[in-house]
Amino acid sequence: MLALVLPALAGPAAPAGQAAERRAPSVTVNPPPDDAIQRRIEGILRAVGGFEELQVEVRSGVVRLAGHAGSLALHEQATDLAGRVEGVVLVRNDLHVATDVRGRLTPTWTKVKGYLARTLGFLPVLGVALAAFVAFALLAKWVERWPFRLLHLSELATSIVRVALRAVLLVTGLVLALDLLGLITFVGKVVGALGLLGVVAGLAFRDVVANFLPGFMIGLNPPFASGDDVQIGEHTGRVVRVTPRETILVTYDGQHLRIPNVSLLQKPILNFERYRERRLHFPIDVALSADLPRVRAVGRETLLSLPGLLREPRPFMRVLTVQADLVRVVFYAWADQHEARFLDVESRARQAVKEALVGAGIPFPVPELAIHMAGAEAARSLEEDEPGGRDEALVEAHVHEEEVVSGGRDLLREGASPASRAPARGT
């Protein structure tokens, strides 16, 4: 029954395939009145400032601006601001731009007074920030005078620790001051913008940093001391000093040699004077018929009689090779490098053993080259070409010139504690 009654009550049905028509609701636009638009524009322009004798007229949404604008920028800004107000249809800008000096300076002076007022209001915060930075700066200055020697550190290690602590304190004070001023975010953006520049600078100065870092590492743990005779790769000479960038040597030929510090980490370093004792050895060829026990006895006694050689461990001889016409033996002995220079002792030992074997009648492979001398003549021959004379003095002069005259920083002296410095070498 309900299924039959309800369609009848609803009225005639729409024809099949025909959509029902709907009317959109009508919208009535009520623009603000002209006087409201006028008050709105006047309030905006007076808040911006920089206008004199300002007049605003509004008729049916058309705005007319009259008066004087302090600058051309204000003239254009007035048109833009008035056009954004609701209900404005058109803006006629009849403002005159001030061309006289007073008209030009008045807006500027107004801005300057505003800046001064804000600055004066900001002075207390600025004073607190400045006081915080000065406090950390004074603390960093006090750290420089702190007695680090109580920690038994070397001069170089003390310098590095002092610089690191000072940098940490200064950066902390600067960050605290910027945070009080509210500029920490701005500084962070600037640092982020300069990040790419930092990467480029790092790539450009990569080789410079690669040379400086090994220099400080050598200074903290030096493989040699100033004045040591060393061999670095294929170069041999006496160490003058180690700067943050390079190591300076004076070769045995009196030449000035600079080695980049980065290469010191890549090449073997042989320090001839790391220890006080150093063993010397030299070969001598004797005839096949020579009495080897007598050769050993003569050579050992001669080495024991020479100054600069140690009696313990005792000198000894070894047979190196036995050939068809000769026997090659090698004599070994230990020298005291603090008593005399090693090269001098080695030279005297070679010559003295040679002369002693000749004087003892030991046959040599080439008899015609054998030199027979009396004892006095043999002693005199050892003094004629004595090493360590003017030639050695000239090398010492070059070393002294590099140390004193040239000046410069020496990381070896800074890195060595007073107790660990090598004693003076004997002459």
Using one digit for the tens of pLDDT, what is the confidence trace for 89-109?
888 888 888 665 555 566 666
CA distance 270 to 143: 39
Q: What is the mean pLDDT of residues 177-192?
A: 71
Flag whether pLDDT at 213 surpasses 80.
no
Q: With cut-offs at 50, 70 and 90, classify the pLDDT of residue 15.
A: very low
CA distance 328 to 323: 8
Q: What is the pTM of this model?
A: 0.46
Note the pLDDT of residue 259.
86
Q: Which tokens hold the place of 17? A: 């395939």
Q: With cut-offs at 50, 70 and 90, classify the pLDDT of residue 412.
A: low
Q: Between 368 and 64, where is the model more confident?
A: 64
Q: Between 163 and 344, where is the model more confident?
A: 344
Q: Which architecture does CATH list for 222-273+393-420?
A: Roll (2.30)
Question: Tokens 């204000």 — which residue?
Answer: 74
Q: Between 28 and 75, where is the model more confident?
A: 75
Q: The domain 34-99: what is its CATH number?
A: 3.30.1340.30
CB contact at 8 A, 335 and 308: yes
Range picked from 115-129, 257-271, 301-315, 362-376 for highest mean pLDDT? 301-315
Q: Which tokens hold the place of 364? A: 């040599």
Flag whether pLDDT at 35 surpasses 90.
no
Flag whether pLDDT at 326 surpasses 90.
yes
Flag whether pLDDT at 317 surpasses 90.
yes
Q: What is the mean pLDDT of residues 337-363?
A: 91
Q: With cut-offs at 50, 70 and 90, classify the pLDDT of residue 393.
A: low
CATH number 3.40.50.300 given to 277-386: no
Sign for the pseudo-dihedral over CA of 336, 340, 342, 344? negative
Q: Between 241 and 108, where is the model more confident?
A: 241
Note the pLDDT of residue 376.
47
Flag whether pLDDT at 180 surpasses 60.
yes
CA distance 345 to 282: 12
How much of the chain exceeds pLDDT 90, in percent?
A: 16
Question: Tokens 């800008």 — which residue?
Answer: 93
Map out the domains of the chain as residue ranges: 34-99, 107-193, 222-273+393-420, 277-386
Residue 278 bridge partners (DSSP): 335
CA distance 287 to 417: 54
Neighbours of 325 (CB within 10 A): 9
H/E element holding 427?
none
Q: With cut-offs at 50, 70 and 90, classify the pLDDT of residue 403.
A: low
CB contact at 8 A, 341 and 425: yes
CA distance 386 to 344: 8
Flag whether pLDDT at 80 surpasses 50.
yes
Q: Specify the range with the lowest mean pLDDT, choosing from 151-155, 224-228, 243-247.
A: 151-155
Q: What is the mean pLDDT of residues 354-365?
A: 92
CA distance 291 to 294: 5
CA distance 136 to 130: 10
